[in-house]
Amino acid sequence: MTAQHAVFGHPITHSRSPFIHAAFAQAEGIALQYRAIDADLETFPAALQAFFADGGRAANVTLPLKEAAFALCASHGHAAQRAGAVNTLIWREQHWHGENTDGSGLVRDLTSRHGLDLRGCRVLLLGAGGAARGVAPALLDAGIDELVVANRTASRADALVDAMGEPGRVISAYWEALDEQGDFEIILNATSAAHGATPPPKLPSSLVNSRTSAVDLNYGAAAVPFLAWANAAGCRKQIDGLGMLVEQAAEAFHLWHGRHPDTEPVYAQLRAQLL
């Protein structure tokens, strides 16, 4: 029987997940149908129920539903628990179980694809919303030395720092005072600033050293402003979020099917589509 899968979110028409999972399934010889379902915070519970009634037992969840999905799950994996957000749903023992593969997907992209060694790094995380919360625990688990969180709204940075529960290793900084924070091996943009009309507050070039990699969780046009700054500021590497997108999908695929697909062919196809 063909397994029913879906990604829920709003907006969802531009989601690449159906393409990615169809390609993985074909390569692995697994029969599955993977569709995009438009659902907002209000309609998500009913949409998930309808999906379940249709035989759906595995799904992804994207913006703005990751926290709502967390609340809907009766059990959570370690990463989802720490992030307070779920991007992968699995029906297990008569309930929805929630996992979060965003952080592990990012770490796999940075280490395997881009050859970064995260151990001992000072990391600056820009943003403190859902995307930042999703990746912060995995960066800590990967052995970074220190995580400095800066956000336009300082109180949200403080809340993220508190949620990580590692005072001293995870600290917040005022965006306006980032020139007092020294330099970083990794500067990670987890803001959605490029989607809005207001540009983010300026970043000082003193954040950059000779080994700094700049990483944007966005890809396509939304990654252009931050990576252009990184280029001008002299960052050694500029990495967008396309690899993370493919890797988080592969981690979800592994949770559902017990196999980790080769991500390189799909990554190459998506990269070519972006050019």
Please indicate if the annotation marks 35 as binding a ligand. Answer: no
* Residue 61: C-alpha distances to residues 39, 47, 98, 238, 250 (Å): 10, 12, 10, 27, 14
Q: Give the separation between CA 263 and CA 231, rounded to whole angstroms.
A: 27
Does 84 participate in binding ligand ATR (rule CB under 6 A)?
no
Between 32 and 252, CB nearer to ligand ATR: 252
The answer to whether 66 is a known catalytic residue is: yes
Cβ contacts of 20 within 8 Å, gap of 6 or more: 245, 246, 249, 266, 270
Please indicate if the annotation marks 210 as binding a ligand. Answer: no
Please indicate if the annotation marks 87 as binding a ligand. Answer: yes
- Pick from 13, 94, 198, 210: which binds ligand ATR (CB under 6 A)? 198
Residue 245, token pair as written in the block? 């997108």
Q: How far is the CB of 25 from ligand ATR (least distance, A)?
A: 27
Does 100 participate in binding ligand ATR (rule CB under 6 A)?
no
Between 189 and 263, CB nearer to ligand ATR: 189
Q: Give the separation between CA 124 and CA 160, rounded to whole angstroms.
A: 13
Does 131 participate in binding ligand ATR (rule CB under 6 A)?
yes
Q: In what order do the strands lie in the sheet with 95-99?
A: 32-38, 3-9, 58-61, 88-92, 95-99, 75-76
Q: What is the DSSP string of 38-59?
A: E--TTTHHHHHHHHHHTT--EE
Catalytic residue among 66, 76, 97, 133: 66
Does 128 participate in binding ligand ATR (rule CB under 6 A)?
yes
Does 129 participate in binding ligand ATR (rule CB under 6 A)?
yes
Catalogue the active-site residues.
66
List residues near ligand ATR by CB under 6 A. Answer: 63, 127-132, 151-153, 156, 191-193, 196, 198, 200
